[in-house]
Chain A
Amino acid sequence: MNAPLRGPGNNFVGQSVERLEDMRLLRGQGLFTDDVSRPGLVHAAILRSTVAHGWLRGVDSAAALALPGVVAVITAATMGAKVPAIPMRLAPLDELEPYWQPVIAADKVRYVGEPIAVVLAESAAIAEDALELLVAEIEALPPVVDTATALADGTLLFEAQGTNLAVLYTAQKGEAQAEFPGAYVRREKMDTQRHTATTMETRGLLAEWDATTEVLRIHGASKVPFASRGMLAKQMGLPETSIEMIEVDVGGGFGMRGEFYPEDFLVPFAAKHCGRPVKWIEDRREHLLACNHAREFDCDLELVCSREGDILALRGTVNGNMGAYMRANVAVAPRNVGQFLSGPYAVPNVHVEVRALLTNKTPTGTYRGPGRFEADFFRERLLDLAADDLGIDRVAFRRRNLVKMAEMPYPLATVTPPKKEEKLDSGDYVMTMDLALAELDWDAKLPLQGKLIDGRYHGLGVACFIEGGAAGPRERARVELVEDGTVAVYVGSTLVGQGLETVMTQIAADAMECSMDTIRFFHGSTTYVSEGFGSFHSRSTVMGGSAILLAIEELRQRMREAAAARLGCKAEAVRLEEGRAVAPGGGALSWAELATAGLSGDGVFHNHTHTYAYGAHACHVAVDPRSGHVEVVDYVAVEDVGRMINPLALQGQIVGAVVQGLGGVFLEHLVYDAEGQLLTGSFADYLLPTATDYRSIRAVAMGVHTGAVGPLGAKGAGEGGIIPVGGCIANAVAAAFSGKVQPMSLPLSPSRLWAMIEAAG
C-alpha cells in the first residue's frame, strides 16, 4: 500500500490516492469465486437449449446418470409443481410478471442458451462429459429474431399474452406531436447493435447448505447481494436470515454481473438438493450466450428545429430487442433510451415511445451507461445532420441548445410506466464542451477535416452527454471502534472493481480525521449490515459515502460521550484527535481504550433524486477509404462529476469507459443468424478492444458544479465515459467524408464502412 497521504485538514477526498485494492490483486492475493473450495465439492454444468424457440417435450438423463462420477441431474421436473421465476428488480410492473424468466425451462425454450438441466458431478470435466449424454427433445417453432418480426406478432413467444410487445414506455414533455409551422424537420432511422459487458472473469457461484444450522451460504454474490437474497429466499421458501451472500473479488461488473440469473437459483438449489457444496464456473462460451446482453435498439426519430437553430421537439419511436424474457433489470435500458434522448440539450417538447419487444435471443439487462450509449448515438447523429442542413456550425448549434446554468434545475421528459419525473441538477454544459474542443485543439485541426492526407481522410467529431447517478432509495453504513484503535466501516455498497474500497476509505478517514490505514473497510456481504442496495447506477460513492458520513457523525458523538464520562468533562468539550480523545484539562484516552465501551454508529442515507454528471467528448479520426479502417488519432473526454473523491481512479474509469465505448463502436457485436443461433461464441469472433488498439485517449475529469444529493457534493460517475462515444466517432467519420458518408448503424466495421464509402462514390 502506498503511504497514506495527509493533506491540509485531513483531505484525502480529492487526492489521487492509489487504489488500495491494486497491490493485493496484482500480487495474486485476490480471492475470486473459483479460488474458494470446500471438502466434498461437486461441480455443476448446465445443459442449454440449442434451439431458439420450441416446445420442450422431455429430457432423457438416463445415460448421463449412468456415467461414473455423475451425482445428479436436475431438470424442471425436480422442482415439483411450480418452477420459480426471476422477478424484476428495477421498475417492476405487475403486468410484466408473465414474462419473468423461469429458472429452468419447463415446457418451452425461448432462446439458445436457456437452461434445461443441471448436471452435478465429481469434476467439471465429468459434468461436461455428461452434458453430451443428455438428450433434450425439442419441437422447434419459428424463431423471432428481429424487432420487425416481433412487432408483427405472427409468432408469439408467450401465446397466452397475445403479443410480443411486453411494455410500451413513453417519454413525454410538452406538445411534441403538435404542428410546427415553418420548422425544419429531420427524420432518420438508426440502430445500435447487440453487444454487452464481457468481463475478464466470467460469472461463478459456490453454494453450500448447512443442514444443521439450516443456513445457505453463497460465495460469488455481487452488485446487489441483498436484493438477490430476497429473491432467492422467496423462491426457496427460506427466511432471508437463513441465506448468507458472501462477496468475493470480481473481475469486472459493468452492470452485467450480480443481477439475478437462472444460475443464482439453480446452484443454491442444487446444493440443498444433493446435500453437498456445489460450484459452478461459467465458461467463456456460456458467458457470451447466457449473461445479460444489451444495446440492441432501432429508432425512427424526428428532430424539429426552428430555422435559426433552436431545437423545438424530439419525437418518434424506438424498438428495443429485449430478448426472450423480462429479466431483473431489463427495464432500465429501454426506459433510459426514452429518458436520455434529449440529453444535455434544452428540448421543450418530447414524445418518444419505446417498445420493449420480446425475441428469441438471450435476455437483456444493463451494460455501463444503459440506454444512454444508444440514445446519445441517435441524438448526436441527428444534431450533426440538422446543423449541416441548417447551415449552422455544429459546435455553434450545440452551444445554442445546451441547457444553460440559469435554466437549472431543468425538467427532462417524464417516463412512464411507472411514472418518474426527472430534472437535470446543475452544471455548465457549454464549459465542458468548450474544454473538450480546446483540449483537442479543434480550431487548429479543423482545416484537416475532409482532406485526404497520405491516403486517409481526416475528420473531427464532438458529442455531449449527461450521465445520471445516485439511485435511491437509501444506503446503510455502520462504523465500530475496534479494540486495537482502528475503525471498522461496514457498508451495503458492493465492490465491482470500481475502487470502492479506496474511495470509501478516503471518505471515512476524512470524517474520522485519521489516517487511511486506521480504517478497516467491509462491504457487500449480507453478514455485515442489515440491508444494502448495492452498486449500480453509479450510486455507491454518493449513497454509501453519505451513509458513512452519517454513521461516523454518530460514532464520534458516542466517542465524545464515552470519553467525557471517563475523563470527567462535558462531551462537547472533548477533542477527538487521531487515536486519542482529549479533555480540556489534558486528560486523554486512546481510541483503543475507548473501544472497550463498545462504541458504534449507524447511518442511513435516504435519497429519491438523481445526480447528473455531464461532459463532452471530442475526437479526431483518420479513415483509410480503401480498407474502411478508422484510426482514432486523438480522443478527449471531459466530465464534471461535481466533486472528485479520487481523480486518479476517476480518470481510469473514464479512459476505460471510452475504450469500452470504442469496442462498441468498432468491434463488439453479438451476431445471430436467422434461426436465432449466436454466431459469436468465442473471443475469436466477439472482438474486444485490447490495450494496443486505441492508444490516444485523454480524460479530463473535474469537480466544478457540485451535486445536490448528500453532503459530499459528488455526483455518480464511472459510466459517463462510454455514453457519447458512438455519436462522437460517427460524427467524425461523417465529417471526414464531408457528409457523403453518414453512419446510421453501429458497429462501424471496416467491411460495413468500406461499403458505405464505395456507395458514396
Chain B
Amino acid sequence: MKLPAFDYATPTSIGEAVALLAAGDGSARPLSGGQTLMPLLAFRLTAPSLLVDLRGIPGLDAVEIGEAGTRLGARVRWCDIEAHAGLAAAQPLLVAMIGHVAHYQIRKRGTLGGSMAHADPAAEMPGVAVACDGVLHLVGAGGARDVAARDFFLGPLTTALAADELIVGITLPAWPHGRRWGFQEFARRRGDFALAGVAVHYDEVGGRAVGAHVAVIGACSAPHRVAAAEALLEGSAVTSALAAEVGRAVAASVSPPEDIHATAAYRRSLAGTLAERALAAAGGLA
C-alpha cells in the first residue's frame, strides 16, 4: 500500500492551481485534506500524474457569516466547523450533520471541498449542500461560476466539476431564527458512512410548515430532496401521523443501492424511518 509515483505542486494562488490542473490534461488532481484521495492512492485505485496541493493557497479556510448567508472556504475542515463559535447559531443543520463525519483524526484533516468534489452518496457535506440550498463556487481555466448544489451532485462520485475546475467554497443561505430542523443518520458504527440519513427543515408559520425541505443521503445515488415528502409537509401541522406519512413518502421515493452492508429493501425502509424521526425531532414530537 505504497503510493504510486506522481509529481507534486503547491501553488500559492487559485489561478496557479487551476493552470496546473488545466496543464495536467485530466490526469492532475487537487489534494485538499487527502482523507479519501490518499487511501485511493495507497490502494492504487487512481494514479494521477500530478497532485496539486491546495494548502499553500491563502483564504480557502475562511468562514464568513453574513446577512445573506454563510460562506465557507473549500479548505474548511470538519474540526473547524465543530469549533467555530458562530456556526452553531448561523447554520445549526450544518453543525449537526458534520458531527456525524468520521472520527477525530479524519476531522482534523478532512475538508468540505474535498468531500463535495468526491461526492460519496453517503457523505454528509453534499447532503448539507443540497438540504440547505447551497451554492458552490467553482473556478476553472475558463473563469469562475456558481452552481447550485442540486445541480452539482450527479451520481455516485460524479459531479458537475470539470477536470480543470476547483471548488473554492460554498455559500449556504441565511438560516432564519426559529427554523425547525431535524437530522437522523444510521451507520453500522458511529462515524461510518451512512446506510441512510435524512435532514428535514421548515419554518413554522401559524403552526404550519412553510418552506419544507426533506433531503436524503446514503440510500440514494446522490443526495437529493424528496419532492413528494416536501409536498406532504408544506402547509401542514406537524403531527406524528404526518411524520409517519412523510416517512412512507421518502421510503417510496428512494432507489437505494445494495451492498455487503445492507439490502436495498433495508435502506429504503431505513430512509423512511429516519425521515419520520427527523421530522418528529424537528416538530418537537420526539
Q: Which residues of A contact B265 (CB under 8 A)?
A: 755
Least distance between A537 CB and chain B CB atoms (Å): 32
Q: Which residues of A contact B44 (CB under 8 A)?
A: 128, 132
B4, B193, B195, B260: the one contacting A750 at CB < 8 Å is B195
Q: Which residues of A contact B39 (CB under 8 A)?
A: 682
B4, B188, B262: the one contacting A129 at CB < 8 Å is B4
A234 part of interface (Cβ distance < 8 Å): no
CA distance A689 to B261 in the complex (A): 15
Question: Is the CB–CB distance between B189 and A667 below 8 Å?
Answer: yes
Question: Is the CB–CB distance between A124 and B186 below 8 Å?
Answer: no
Query: With A751-B261, A755-B266 in contact, is A693–B190 under 8 Å at CB?
Result: yes
Q: Mark B241-269, 1 if CB is under 8 A from A, else 0.
A: 00000000000000000001111011001
Q: Which residues of B contact A273 (CB under 8 A)?
A: none
For residues 2 through 46 of chain B, which have their beta carbon under 8 Å from a beta carbon of chain A? 2-5, 39, 43-44
For residues 645 through 683 of chain A, which have their beta carbon under 8 Å from a beta carbon of chain B? 667, 669, 671, 679-680, 682
Q: Mark A119-130, 1 if CB is under 8 A from B, else 0.
A: 000011100110
CA distance A285 to B195 in the complex (A): 23
Question: Is the CB–CB distance between A628 and B188 below 8 Å?
Answer: no
Question: Is the CB–CB distance between A679 and B260 below 8 Å?
Answer: yes
* A interface residue count range (under 10 / 10 to 19 / 20 to 34 / 35 or more): 20 to 34
Q: Mark B38-60, 1 if CB is under 8 A from A, else 0.
A: 01000110000000000000000
Query: With A128-B2, A629-B186, A692-B190 in contact, is A750–B269 under 8 Å at CB?
Result: no
B146 part of interface (Cβ distance < 8 Å): no
B189, B270, B273: the one contacting A690 at CB < 8 Å is B189
A627 part of interface (Cβ distance < 8 Å): yes
For residues 682 through 701 of chain A, which have their beta carbon under 8 Å from a beta carbon of chain B? 682, 684-685, 687, 689-690, 692-693
B1 part of interface (Cβ distance < 8 Å): yes
A111 part of interface (Cβ distance < 8 Å): no
A283 part of interface (Cβ distance < 8 Å): yes
B192 part of interface (Cβ distance < 8 Å): yes
Instruction: Count chain B residues whose beta carbon lies closer than 8 angstroms to a beta carbon of A.
Output: 24
Least CB separation from A124: chain B residue: B2
Question: Is the CB–CB distance between A627 and B1 below 8 Å?
Answer: no
Q: Which residues of A contact B4 (CB under 8 A)?
A: 125, 129
A317 part of interface (Cβ distance < 8 Å): no
For residues 734 through 761 of chain A, which have their beta carbon under 8 Å from a beta carbon of chain B? 749-751, 754-755, 758
Query: With A129-B5, A626-B269 in contact, is A755–B263 under 8 Å at CB?
Result: yes
Q: Which residues of B contact A283 (CB under 8 A)?
A: 1
A173 part of interface (Cβ distance < 8 Å): no
Question: Is the CB–CB distance between A685 and B260 below 8 Å?
Answer: yes
Question: Is the CB–CB distance between A667 and B188 below 8 Å?
Answer: yes
CA distance A560 to B44 in the complex (A): 66
A189 part of interface (Cβ distance < 8 Å): no
B5, B43, B188: the one contacting A687 at CB < 8 Å is B188
CA distance A679 to B259 in the complex (A): 10
Least distance between A203 CB and chain B CB atoms (Å): 14
Q: Which of A128, A132, A284 has most B Cβ within 10 Å?
A: A128
Q: Which residues of A contact B266 (CB under 8 A)?
A: 628, 750-751, 754-755
Q: Which residues of A contact B5 (CB under 8 A)?
A: 125, 129
For residues 270 through 291 of chain A, which have their beta carbon under 8 Å from a beta carbon of chain B? 283-285
Question: Is the CB–CB distance between A751 and B186 below 8 Å?
Answer: no
Least distance between B71 CB and chain A CB atoms (Å): 32
Q: Which of A124, A682, A751 has most B Cβ within 10 Å?
A: A751
CA distance A128 to B263 in the complex (A): 36
Question: Is the CB–CB distance between A285 and B269 below 8 Å?
Answer: no
Q: Which residues of A contact B269 (CB under 8 A)?
A: 626, 754, 758
Least CB separation from A758: chain B residue: B269
Least CB separation from A625: chain B residue: B273
For residues 251 through 281 of chain A, which have their beta carbon under 8 Å from a beta carbon of chain B? none
| A-B residue pairs in contact (CB < 8 Å), sample of 15 | A125-B2, A125-B3, A285-B1, A285-B43, A627-B273, A667-B188, A679-B260, A682-B43, A689-B189, A690-B189, A749-B261, A749-B262, A754-B269, A754-B270, A755-B263
Q: Report which A residues bind B (CB closer than 8 A).
A: 123-125, 128-129, 132, 283-285, 626-629, 667, 669, 671, 679-680, 682, 684-685, 687, 689-690, 692-693, 749-751, 754-755, 758
The 4 closest A-B pairs by CB, nearest first: A125-B2, A751-B262, A283-B1, A751-B266
A-B contacts besides A628-B266, A690-B189, 20 pairs, CB < 8 Å: A123-B2, A125-B3, A128-B44, A284-B1, A285-B43, A626-B273, A667-B189, A682-B39, A682-B43, A687-B189, A690-B190, A749-B262, A750-B266, A751-B195, A751-B262, A751-B263, A754-B266, A754-B270, A755-B265, A755-B266
